[in-house]
Each structure stands twice: as C-alpha cells, then as structure tokens.
C-alpha cells in the first residue's frame, strides 16, 4: 500500500473518519507498518501501551481477562484509549492470519490533535456519544439482572 492508500484506509476507521485528509496524511506518513504472520503476537496483556494500531488486512484475536475473546478485522482501531492516555494493554492480541497494521504512536496522534485542534473537538464529541451509548446499554443490562447487591438505591 502507498501513502494515499493508507490515508483512504485511515479515513474509513470510525474514530479517525472525522479527521480529514491532511491530518490523516500526517498519521499515514509517520505511522509504523506492522506485518504479522499467523500466530504472531501484536502485544500482551499488561504491557505498557504506547499507541494504537489500525488493522489494514487480516484478523486479530483479542483475549481480555475475564471477558469473551473477540476477533477483529480490517477497519478496526486497536488500542484507541492508548492513543490518548498512558495505560496498560487489557488483553493479549495476536494474528489469526497474516495481517498488516499501521502502528500509531501516542506522540504522533497527540501531535495531530495539536496541529489540527478542530479534530480534537470532533473526536471528543464522537467519543462522548459512544460512551453515552455504552452507559445506556449497561443500565439496561443492570435493570434486567436486578441483583439487589448492585442496586444504587
């Protein structure tokens, strides 16, 4: 893939879609290309997370502790939280098949936000909307479970 292909790909990633071509050019130009073979480990649970990964091709298995594993495919932004804050990886991630990713270091992502502040506001709005949806889903689950010990009365 060339630079223009990477820009188009990043533009299809939900969080990054609000960025626009020039900010994505910065990310695509400076991101690290990562190639994995089937079974290769992308990162392990508990490792310091220094950024995120945009999955271009292939599939990655995510195995968090105490939660069901997930397999994600192209267009997934893995480690989104690590783009914004220092954190530890909450799961193991390894390739289910040969995969290609773009590694986006936190420093690079923050530079993009500094250079294009309107994007930061758009991403904030998008993330708040997603969090509200997740909270609503959790409240629905809580109401269905109706476990007395979990009530907030």
Q: What are the structural domains of the chain?
A: 3-150 (2.60.120.10)
Work out the pLDDT band at 148, boundaries 50, 70, 90: low
Dump strand ranges (E) for the chain: 32-36, 41-43, 48-49, 51-57, 60-64, 70-72, 77-78, 87-88, 91-95, 99-105
Q: Judge whether 89 and 49 are in contact, CB under 8 Å.
A: yes
In this prediction, residues 47-62 reach a mean pLDDT of 96
Taking the model in full, what pTM does it have? 0.81
- Asked if residue 96 has pLDDT above 80, the reply is yes
Helix axes 21-30, 3-11, angle to 10 degrees: 120
Residue 73 pLDDT level (bands cut at 50, 70, 90): very high
């Amino acid at each position: 893939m060339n630079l223009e292909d990477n820009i188009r790909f990043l533009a299809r990633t939900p969080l990054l879609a609000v960025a626009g071509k020039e900010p994505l050019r910065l990310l695509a130009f400076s991101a690290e290309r990562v190639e994995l073979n089937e079974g290769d480990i992308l990162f392990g649970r508990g490792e310091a997370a220094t950024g995120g990964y945009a999955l271009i091709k292939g599939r990655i298995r995510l195995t968090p502790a105490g939660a069901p594993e997930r397999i994600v495919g192209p267009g997934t932004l893995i480690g989104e939280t690590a783009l914004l804050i220092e954190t530890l990886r909450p799961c193991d991630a390894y390739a289910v098949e040969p995969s290609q990713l773009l590694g986006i270091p936190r420093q690079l992502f923050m530079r993009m936000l500094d250079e294009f502040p309107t994007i930061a506001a758009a991403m904030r709005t998008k993330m708040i909307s997603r969090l509200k949806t997740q909270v609503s889903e959790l409240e629905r689950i809580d109401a269905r479970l109706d476990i007395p010990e979990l009530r907030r009365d």
